[in-house]
Amino acid sequence: MKPRDRAQHLDRRDFLQLAGASAVIGAFTPWQAAREIPKLEYRIHAPSAGRKPGGMPGKFPARVIEVFHSNAIVDKRVSEPAVKEMVERGMRELTGVKKVTDAWRIFFDPSDVVAIKPNPSGVLGTTTSPELVREVIRGLELAGVKRTNIIVYDRFPWQLFVSSYHGYLPPGVRAIGTADVLAVGPAAVGHDPDVYFETTCFAELETRSYLSTVASRLSTKIINLPCLKEHGASGPTGCLKNISYGSFTNVARTHTGTDEARGLSGPPYCYIDPIVPLLCSVEPLRSKLVLNIMDGLRGVWHGGPFAASPDFIWEAKTLYFGTDPVALDRIELELLERKRREKGAPSLWDRDPSQIGSQTEKDKNPAKNWYYRATGHVRTAGLMGLGTWDLYRIRHSKLEVG
């Protein structure tokens, strides 16, 4: 069957027709940068473009479960028993069943090959905790999924290694870093030459971003484990950014580079909005992502994603559960905004040119940043139908289990 292509000029009218959205970079929106950014032209190439049930926004749209445990971190170390209790309670509350085994079986069965996508980018303690990864694996085993059918993956093999996932994984579970190489042949591991997003941001030579074969071929379902974290370019870096930028190659080009012909560079500008939601919409990634558990054991309110300064990290001792990535990211955004207000830092929506500084300044001073953050990517994802942006429509339950 001939692959299905979608090509659009992403001006305001076309974006309305394509995604049901009311905003795009360069349009007159509340979150536009200090100057208008040229419109984006793009193409999505995906042979299996049909949407299947269960994917974004999932079985429980507009639903977020927040679980706090006072002993989740003790003496600066994550407590595995506390994480186990939090995951069991969160999964039961999300699904509305009494037994944790039944909760996992709502999403998974023994025939599934499940890929787990952590966030390994950052200093130790600001990445997805290995304790959470291990508990998710235990949950999959309750659903009957074999260890040999569980994959922990990311683009970067070295980040998986530095974050210690290899040492924490039970025997049989695979850790795969796809290393930005194209897969040659149907059984190869890497990135899929048949599934890609094509556009030009800042006059880069390579204009395609390819989807990981872990997402396109090897797995039947995906669990997303992002972190509670600010990002200098995206604003919140939660479910949407973790699953998109960790599953596609060549994404740094959306916020780095120089287009001399147009007098445009990143930083301070970027195309994270709308590229993050567009990547999330690509099949089969959209259909395969069925569960998100956000690691909020520690939070980063400034200086992310790598969090060079411990001054910008706090112990939140919380996990967030949902199938709707937009709703989860909206709750994350509200929390980060409150934390920044407490610290006297500017809003993630701020567009004051006087606050633009160097990376060094950003790493030391929360009043400085080197980008106009693309915080609106979460709203754009909601308008594209990937989940719920409207805060008043999100059913947000808060629980304390210890």
Name beta bridge partners: 208.
Answer: 198
User: pLDDT tens digits, residue range 354-399?
Assistant: 999 998 899 999 999 999 999 999 999 999 999 999 999 999 999 9
Cα 201 to chain center, whole Å? 20
Specify the residue for token string 């955004």: 333
**Measuring CA to CA, how many Å separate 178 from each of 151, 175, 243, 401?**
12, 10, 14, 37
Is 33's pLDDT higher than 70? no
What would the two tokens of residue 332 be?
């994350």
Shortest CA distance to 272 belongs to which of 254, 259, 246? Answer: 254
User: pLDDT tens digits, residue range 40-91?
Assistant: 889 999 987 677 888 999 999 999 999 999 999 999 999 999 999 999 999 9
In this prediction, residue 185 carries a pLDDT of: 76
Q: Evaluate whether 50 touches 277 at the Cβ level (below 8 Å).
A: no
- Whole-prediction pTM value? 0.91
Ranges of each domain in the chain: 46-400
Q: Helix, strand or coil for residue 265?
A: strand
Going by the DSSP 8-state scheme, the letter that residue 97 receives in this structure is -
User: pLDDT tens digits, residue range 136-152?
Assistant: 999 999 999 999 999 99
d(CA 292, CA 116): 10
Cα 331 to chain center, whole Å? 14
Name beta bridge partners: 248.
Answer: 211
Q: Phi/psi of residue 191, each to 5°? A: -120, 145
In this prediction, residue 26 carries a pLDDT of: 29
